[in-house]
Amino acid sequence: LRLGATFVRSAMDWSGAEGSGTVGLSVAGSNAAGLAPLIERRRQHAVLLRLAARKCGIAFQLTNILRDLKEDAERGRVYLPREDLDRFGYTPDDLRASVRDERFLALMRFEIERTKQLYREGAELYQWLEPAGKPAFEAMIALYHGLLGEIERADGDVFHRRIPVSYTHLRAHET
């Protein structure tokens, strides 16, 4: 995934969400960029650092996208990759109508697994953080990954109730 394009008002065409498309995940980029001052200055690992930071940022943003599917669809915005919608035979109209059927469940399982993989791959960023930055990173992971876990426990049902950000995960992490 490359960051920086502008969101469109219909399903996003990520043209291969695994790396070849352009996605306007400006919040993801901001999250990743926000970590930059906390990262050790190790030029020989710069590519790995950027990749891990980008994966974390995208995982954070995909978590938000999944949580906000209903609200975004009501506003005429669909941020899921068009190819994913097509793959599961699910349409932006289905999303706007809050259709929760086998197609939607399969789509959500796919997106949740993709996001979990991005968290796993982005976790290597931790080793490159300055000691002072590690608690902030751990807190961000605990909050966002916890939110993804809540979406997964709700079997992807983001239509009937908004999945709240739970600070329980953060407090559990602190102990």
pLDDT per position as a tens digit, 4-34: 333 334 455 444 444 433 344 444 555 555 5
| pLDDT of 171 | 55
Could you write out the DSSP letters of every residue in the chain?
-EE-PPP-SS-B--SSTTTTSEE--HHHHHHHHHHGGGB---GGGHHHHHHHHHHHHHHHHHHHHHHTHHHHHHTT---SBHHHHHHTT--HHHHHTT--SHHHHHHHHHHHHHHHHHHHHHGGGGGGB-GGGHHHHHHHHHHHHHHHHHHHHTTT--SSSPPPP-THHHHHHH-
| pLDDT of 52 | 87
Q: What are phi and psi of 58, to 5 degrees?
A: -65, -40
Q: How far is CA 29 from CA 17, 54, 58, 79, in A?
A: 15, 7, 8, 15
Counting Cα atoms < 13 Å in the Cβ hemisphere of 159 gives: 15
Q: What are phi and psi of 158, to 5 degrees?
A: -105, 5
Record the pTM: 0.74
Q: Which residues of the chain have pLDDT under 70?
A: 1-44, 166-175
d(CA 58, CA 99): 26
Counting Cα atoms < 13 Å in the Cβ hemisphere of 149 gives: 12
| pLDDT of 67 | 95
| pLDDT of 115 | 96
d(CA 114, CA 33): 22
| pLDDT of 63 | 96
Of 153, 169, 151, which Cα lies nearest the Cα of 70? 151
